[in-house]
């Protein structure tokens, strides 16, 4: 570990940086917490929210020697630290409570401002309420489908891996409805098929828990994934909320064995899709709670947001989303 740190320091000392961070200060105005990051050059930060830790990365940027972030008492911010990782400067913000954020890069002024707000949606609560209802209802006999398109790519990095994809909802259960009344179940299935195509082409054995408009039991879904001894389980959903302004990507997991998969997938989706990052969260949803293998549930878009509804029904964006799901899986393995 010491040798690794020495090598990082030597590498950083030989890099010609385009920007430098000289000052970090947290402030508050009304009910918003701000973190102002200032320096020389064009600062261009990218955020990633993983549970109670928000990291803002600045490529090709140096952290000034002896820099100490200024932090007073804040509603949402527990601590701030600055880390030099090769050519990338990382500002790591510990959070006291469930929050959402915006990153504002002020072009030409060497300044980035991170804005922190309270989380307003109740996506996890809505999902839990739906699950409770579905567990009490009768479902069709589960009819899983092994994806066999017989396509093969040069990349066979997933050979030998068994992956179960669960297209959320189906049959009598429409899921949420989009702005223009498209049921969620009609969008999760084509996404699952496209993701299966990428994963199978890379050598994986891929099962869909449904390949038609069919009502599935959550218990049967989990039992199937456990029976085939899947290496990972991914449940595919979309979000809805009454506030149509809310948008972005959310990823859920439950236990520690699923955390690395969840982190890897969330980063792949946020970076690859360039959508708003609404964070990685922990929740006791039925399938990801009872699966024996690493299991996650992803909600990549809000169907209640007009722009994201358009993306969800676009074959091109579905393909882009499926590709980034496959990248997340490859990076995990």
pLDDT of 4 > 90? The answer is no
Helices (H) and strands (E) in the chain, counts: 8, 16
Distance between CA 296 and CA 30 in Å, rounded?
36
Give residue 316's pLDDT.
Answer: 97
pLDDT of 20 > 90? The answer is yes
pLDDT of 212 > 60? The answer is yes
Q: Over the stretch 46-78, which tens digit does the pLDDT of each residue have?
A: 999 999 999 999 999 999 999 999 998 888 999
Residues 126-132: contacts with CB under 8 Å, at least 24 apart: 126/240, 126/241, 127/237, 127/283, 127/285, 127/297, 128/283, 128/284, 128/285, 130/175, 131/218, 131/285, 131/286
pLDDT over 90, % of the chain: 82
The stretch 222-241 carries a mean pLDDT of 97
Copy the structure tokens of residue 291.
């699966």
Residue 187 banded pLDDT, cuts 50, 70, 90: very high
Give residue 2's pLDDT.
Answer: 57
Tell me the β-bridge partners of 6. Answer: none
Residue 123 banded pLDDT, cuts 50, 70, 90: confident
Residue 132 banded pLDDT, cuts 50, 70, 90: confident
pLDDT of 6 > 70? The answer is no
Distance between CA 128 and CA 267 in Å, rounded?
24
Instruction: Kindly list the structural domains of the chain, giving each domain's residue range(s) and its CATH number in brackets, ordered by start.
Output: 2-118 (2.60.40.3500), 123-332 (3.40.630.40)
Cα dist from 1 to 6, 37, 84, 111, 116, whole Å: 9, 30, 16, 34, 34
The stretch 304-314 carries a mean pLDDT of 97
Residue 17 banded pLDDT, cuts 50, 70, 90: confident
The stretch 212-230 carries a mean pLDDT of 97
The C-alpha R_g of the chain, in whole angstroms, comes to 21
Mean residue pLDDT of the chain comes to: 93
Q: Over the stretch 77-94, which tens digit does the pLDDT of each residue have?
A: 999 999 999 999 999 999
The whole model's pTM is what? 0.91
Copy the structure tokens of residue 9.
């320091």
Give residue 129's pLDDT.
Answer: 82
Cα dist from 312 to 184, 243, 246, 287, 322, whole Å: 10, 18, 15, 23, 11
Give residue 9's pLDDT.
Answer: 54
pLDDT of 5 > 70? The answer is no
């Amino acid at each position: 570990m010491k040798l690794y740190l020495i090598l990082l320091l030597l590498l950083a000392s030989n890099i010609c940086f385009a920007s430098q961070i000289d000052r970090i200060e947290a402030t508050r105005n009304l009910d918003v917490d701000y973190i102002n990051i200032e320096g020389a050059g064009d600062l261009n930060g990218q955020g990633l929210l993983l549970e109670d830790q928000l990291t803002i990365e600045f490529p090709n940027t140096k952290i000034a020697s002896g820099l100490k972030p200024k932090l007073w008492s804040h509603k949402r911010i527990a601590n701030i630290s600055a880390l030099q990782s090769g050519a990338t400067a990382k500002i790591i913000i510990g959070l006291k409570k469930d929050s959402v954020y915006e990153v504002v890069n002020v072009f030409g002024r060497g300044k980035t401002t991170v804005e922190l707000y309270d989380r307003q949606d109740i996506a996890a609560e809505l999902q839990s309420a739906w699950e409770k209802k579905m567990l009490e209802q009768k479902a069709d006999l589960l009819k899983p489908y092994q994806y066999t398109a017989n396509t093969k790519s040069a990349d066979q990095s997933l050979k030998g891996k068994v992956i179960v994809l669960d297209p959320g909802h189906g049959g009598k259960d429409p899921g949420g409805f989009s702005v223009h009344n498209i049921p969620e179940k009609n969008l999760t299935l084509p996404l699952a098929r496209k993701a299966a195509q990428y994963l199978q082409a890379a050598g994986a054995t891929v099962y869909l828990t449904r390949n038609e408009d069919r009502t599935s039991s959550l218990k049967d879904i989990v039992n199937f994934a456990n029976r085939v001894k899947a290496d990972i389980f991914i449940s595919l959903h979309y979000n809805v909320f009454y506030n149509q302004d809310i948008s972005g990507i959310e990823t859920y997991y439950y236990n520690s064995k699923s955390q690395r998969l969840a982190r890897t997938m969330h980063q792949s989706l946020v970076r690859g899709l360039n959508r708003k990052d609404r964070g990685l969260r922990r929740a006791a949803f039925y399938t990801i709670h009872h699966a024996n293998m690493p299991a996650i549930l992803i909600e990549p878009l809000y169907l209640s947001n007009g722009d994201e509804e358009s993306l969800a029904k676009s074959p091109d964006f579905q393909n882009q989303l499926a590709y980034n799901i496959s990248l997340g899986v490859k990076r995990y393995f």
